[in-house]
Chains A and B, each alone.
Chain A
Amino acid sequence: MKFVDEFRDKDLAKRLSSAVAAEADPSKQYNFMEFCGGHTHAIFRYGVQDLMPDNVKFVHGPGCPVCVLPIPRIDNAIELAERDGAIVCSYGDMMRVPASKKRSLLKAKASGADIRMVYSTQDALRIAHDNPDREVVFFAIGFETTTPPTAVAIKVAEKQGLKNFSVFCNHVLTPAAIQHILQSPEVRDIGTVSIDGFLGPSHVSSIIGSEPYEYFAEEFQKPVVITGFEPLDVMQATLMLIRQINAGRYEVENEYTRVVTREGNCKAQDLVAEVFELRRSFEWRGLGDVPYSALRIRDAFSEFDAEKRFAVQAGNGRDVKGCECPAILRGAKKPTDCKLFGTVCTPDNPQGSCMVSSEGSCAAYWSYGRFRTEKESRAKVA
């Protein structure tokens, strides 16, 4: 497959693996947080950790858009779907995420709510067109990557005078979350989580550019390498991070130059700025309230804002007792540290959000990494 196979080449991987092993200082431990779920997925699906020396480890970050959404917001989406005559459109990953009281969008659908799985905002617009007597709500989630399409949908709905379409906006911002992690006591004071550098977001950075990371690379003295989602990207970026650390540098470097520029996609940024504005604060699962970390729809487009249209109230649903998703999302714990992992919580019966999406660390550990953990523990016993 052209433009894909090139980034999964076994021989190049071997060469990069040798380069990492040669340049990583055996007296040092290198812990790199990959922010995005896409990176977590690539690391597990291709077995990238196998190709790293023992002192280079990946810490899985909170960059799975499904995992970071707090329970009260999912409760809100279910409430919206249960209104008379409503249709809620959601990306597929969101369907199985547990809400409070053991509910989920999938279960709400089974008990009669009209919830449709869509692949794009265009599908949601089409559903609104086809059902003029129904209220169609698009459950918008995701980082900077999925925000521009939501902005486009709102603009199109306005232009076409669609009266039955609105957006339940849950778009969140990456740089604010990374900064929040670096300021957390686990990283800054207690030191239970050691993060020596970041594999920076790939698709997100194609929109926002590499510039927004410059402030905290400098402020927290941590190197950031913007990294593509292919396994060779991850390996190359790891090598670049090791080189920065060995040289005492903490800069923003760009491994993903085939897509990301320093400025990013200005057209998309303008569109987002026209339709959305910053929320003063937004709750993230795992991180709690993070200031200026999410977007809401501007007043000029308030007729398309489901929160205003249906007076959505903040709920108080809580995580399942014993679920360590919050600590796992911060990188403070590993999935295997959670008592529920693999016992009551599996991909078939997820208790926490990290077990749902294939980008979630728990699901990735379960699907691709469980064998490795098993092998390691057997090796330890022997």
Chain B
Amino acid sequence: MNEMPKRFGARINLRKGHVDMTHGSGGRAMAQLIEELFVRHFDNELLSQSNDQAAFQPPSGRMVMSTDGHVVTPLFFPGGDIGSLSVHGTINDVAMSGAKPLYLSAGFILEEGFPLADLEKIVKSMAAASREANVPIVTGDTKVVEKGKGDGVFITTTGVGVIPDGIQISGDLAKPGDAILVSGHIGDHGVALMSKRDNLEFETEVASDSAALHGLVAAMIDEVPDGIHCLRDPTRGGLAATLNEIASQSGVGMHLQAADIPIRNDVAAACELLGLDPLYVANEGKLIAICAPEVAERLRDAMHKHPLGTNAAVIGTVNDDEHGFITMMTEFGGSRVVDWLAGEQLPRIC
């Protein structure tokens, strides 16, 4: 960043200051917050042009666009915070089409009184996540609401990307006979958050799995350019909800083997304690892949070679069932239905 011109007099007090209504007013205080906090940390050429939009030349191929609002509570949790989550979440939504994510935008709704030190922590974490993913935040927006009208900070991110030619991945392409894979342990994010909630704090080493998955997706497509039919990240509602969505989109059923689904002991124990079914607990750094049976092993091996897929496993098969039932052979030897989630298992997990 270049030497900052002295337009604002004293710098914003990021150590002790708080968000106030002027930070969203469109005046000098807002410009100063944007410059000294957002532009400084996100630090890229497009954002530094200080326009209300970012202009860029898209590469050839089909464009993908996705948006995601983040209202997670608590804002900081083991393994991440609302900042890194808002970057990972949108990158993943773009990447699940097979696309290479290119740019992000970020909209902040800040509550009056929110400590600027916490805001800086969140912004730094977003900047680090976006740098690591090599997907810059190129435009944004800041609004402030009165105290009591928000909950600290809400962040909406939008991402754009481009799908390489020849790739066809979509939730309606699962076919009977296809294999179902998951990229690793399920339920980490939900359990990590629950362990820090005010009314049920418990001690666990489990950290959120929040991560950007586009690198893993690229590695998978490199190895198996044909034959990956669906990709989706099982966030809210967990593995169960995501598989039901795909089954309903594709008009198929599925059969899972409980014994093959990777679950950490700590997560299983926490779920046991809280009366939750880990199949319904949220993830933020896992994906489900559905592929032709003949490439399943090759795809799993390719996932194993990537740091975010070392525990990938084939967990079941797609079958021909007009009712769209997801059934599962339990570890106990009986069968059960894995239904949609009813009601709300845990609000505000992302």
Q: Do A and B come from one complex?
A: yes
Which residues does A use to contact B, with CB under 8 Å? 1, 4, 8, 10, 13-14, 17, 44-51, 96, 118-119, 123, 231, 346-348, 358, 363, 366-372, 374
Bound-state Cα–Cα, A368 to B240, Å:
13
Interface pick from B84-92, B162-170, B225-233, B325-333: B325-333
- Residues in A whose Cβ lies below 8 Å from that of B332: 8, 10, 13, 46-48, 51, 231
Shortest A51–chain B CB gap in Å is 6
Residues of A near B327 (CB, < 8 A) are: 371
B325 engages A46 (CB within 8 Å): no
> CA separation between A14 and B331, bound complex, in Å?
12
> A47–B337 Cα gap in the complex (Å)?
9
Using known A-B contacts A1-B268, A1-B269, A374-B323, determine if residue A348 contacts B342 with beta carbons closer than 8 Å: yes
Structural contact, B199 and A369, CB atoms closer than 8 A: no
> Do B331 and A8 touch (CB < 8 A)?
yes
Q: Are A47 and B342 CB-contacts (below 8 A) given A1-B272, A371-B337?
A: no
Q: How far is the CA of A348 from the CA of B244 in the complex (A)?
A: 15
Measured CA separation A164–B240 after assembly (Å):
42
Most A-side CB within 10 Å, residue of B199, B332, B336, B339: B332
Distance between B66 CB and nearest chain A CB, rounded to angstroms: 26
Which residues on A sit within 8 Å (CB–CB) of B336? Answer: 44-47, 368, 371
Cβ contacts under 8 Å, B199 to chain A? 118-119, 123
22 CB contacts below 8 A, A to B, read A13-B332, A17-B333, A44-B336, A45-B277, A46-B332, A46-B336, A47-B332, A47-B333, A47-B335, A50-B333, A50-B335, A118-B199, A119-B199, A119-B200, A123-B199, A348-B342, A358-B275, A367-B337, A368-B339, A371-B335, A374-B323, A374-B325
Q: A45-B336, A47-B333, A49-B334 are in contact. Are A4 and B272 (CB under 8 A)?
A: yes
Proximity string of chain B (157-191) to chain A, C-beta cutoff 8 Å, 1 when within and 0 when not: 00000000000000000000000000000000000
B343 close to A347 (CB less than 8 A):
yes
- B334 in contact with A48 (CB, 8 Å): yes
Tell me the minimal C-beta distance from A120 to chain B in angstroms: 9
Is there an interface contact between A46 and B337, defined as CB atoms closer than 8 Å? no
A348 to B344, CA, bound (A): 10
B265 beta carbon closer than 8 Å to chain A: yes
B333 touches A14 (CB 8 A): yes
Besides A48-B334, A231-B334, 18 other A-B contacts (C-beta < 8 A): A1-B265, A10-B331, A10-B333, A13-B333, A17-B333, A44-B336, A47-B334, A47-B336, A49-B334, A119-B199, A231-B332, A348-B340, A348-B342, A368-B336, A369-B337, A370-B339, A371-B325, A374-B323
Contacts of A368 in B (CB 8 A): 336-337, 339
Contacts of A17 in B (CB 8 A): 333
B334 contacts A50, CB within 8 Å?
yes
Let me know if A45 and B330 touch, CB within 8 A. yes
- Shortest Cβ-Cβ A-B pairs, 5 listed: A47-B334, A347-B342, A50-B334, A46-B332, A371-B337
Bound complex: CA of A46 vs CA of B336, how far in Å? 7
Which residues of B sit under 8 angstroms from A347, Cβ to Cβ? 339, 342-343
Please name all residues of chain A whose beta carbon is closer than 8 Å to the beta carbon of B337 when the two chains form the complex.
Answer: 367-371
Contacts of A50 in B (CB 8 A): 333-335
**B residues neighboring A (CB under 8 Å):** 199-200, 265, 268-269, 272, 275, 277, 323, 325, 327, 330-337, 339-340, 342-343
The CA of A358 and the CA of B268, in the complex, are separated in Å by 18
| B contact residues around A8 at 8 Å (CB) | 331-332
Neighbouring B residues of A14 by C-beta, 8 Å: 333
Smallest beta-carbon distance A12→chain B, Å: 9
Q: Please give me the residue from chain A that is nearest to B274 by CB atom.
A: A119
Q: Give Cα A347 to B337, complex, Å.
A: 14
Q: Which residues on B sit within 8 Å (CB–CB) of A346?
A: 342
Looking at the complex, which one of A46, A96, A371 makes contact with B343 (CB distance below 8 Å)? A96
- Closest residue of A by beta carbon distance from B326: A371
Q: How far is the CA of A369 from the CA of B330 in the complex (A)?
A: 13
Are A366 and B339 in contact, CB atoms less than 8 angstroms apart?
Answer: yes
Chain B's closest residue to A363 (CB) is B342
Which residues from chain B contact A4 at a C-beta distance below 8 Å? 268-269, 272
| Cα distance A374–B268 in the bound complex, in angstroms | 30
Find out whether the CB atom of B333 lies under 8 angstroms from the CB atom of A51: yes
A228 to chain B, nearest CB (A): 14
Find chain B residues with CB under 8 A from A49 CB.
Answer: 334
* A234, chain B: closest CB distance, angstroms: 10
**Nearest chain-B residue to A350 (Cβ)?**
B342
Residues in A with CB closer than 8 Å to B331 are 8, 10
- Quote the shortest CB–CB distance from B67 to chain A (angstroms): 25
Which of A4, A44, A47, A347 counts the most B-chain CB atoms under 10 A from its CB? A47
Chain B residue with the shortest CB-CB distance to A95: B343
How far apart are B173's CB and chain A's nearest CB, in angstroms?
A: 24
In the bound complex, how far is the Cα of B194 from the Cα of A119, in angstroms?
12
Question: Taking the nearest CB of chain A, how far is it from the CB of B32, in angstroms?
Answer: 37
B331 to chain A, nearest CB (A): 6
Q: How far is A367 from B339 in the complex, measured between Cα atoms in Å?
A: 6
Q: How far is the CA of A119 from the CA of B275 in the complex (A)?
A: 11
Distance of A346 Cα from B340 Cα, bound (Å) = 11
Q: A119-B199, A119-B200, A368-B336 are in contact. Are A46 and B330 (CB under 8 A)?
A: yes
Inter-chain CA distance A369–B334, complex, in Å, is: 11
Residue of B269, B275, B277, B340 with highest tally of chain A CB at under 10 A: B275
Once the chains are docked, how many angstroms separate the CA of A347 from the CA of B343? Answer: 7
Contact between A47 and B269 (Cβ–Cβ < 8 Å)? no
Knowing A47-B330, A371-B325, A374-B323, say if A348 contacts B343 (CB, 8 Å). yes
Nearest Cβ distance between residue B136 and chain A, in whole angstroms? Answer: 40
Interfacial chain A residues near B340, Cβ < 8 Å: 348
Interface centre among B277, B340, B342 (most CB of A within 10 A): B342
When distances are taken between beta carbons in the complex, the residues of chain A under 8 Å from B333 are 10, 13-14, 17, 47, 50-51
Q: Whole-angstrom distance between the alpha carbons of A209 and B150 in the complex? A: 50
- What distance in Å separates the Cβ of B143 from its nearest Cβ neighbour in chain A? 25
Chain B residue, CB-CB nearest to A374 = B323
Question: What B residues does A366 contact at CB under 8 A?
Answer: 339
A4 to B331, CA, bound (A): 13
Complex Cα–Cα for A371 and B334 (A): 12
Q: Which residues of chain B are near A10, meaning CB under 8 Å? A: 331-333
- B218 to chain A minimum Cβ distance, whole angstroms, is 36
| B-side contacts of A118, CB under 8 Å | 199
CA distance A5 to B262 in the complex (A): 15
CA distance A119 to B276 in the complex (A): 13
Residue from A17, A45, A346 whose CB has the most chain B CB atoms within 10 Å: A45
| Among B265, B335, B337, residue most surrounded by chain A Cβ atoms (within 10 Å) | B337
Q: Which residue of B lies closest to A359 (CB)?
A: B275
> A348 to chain B: which residues have CB within 8 Å?
340, 342-343
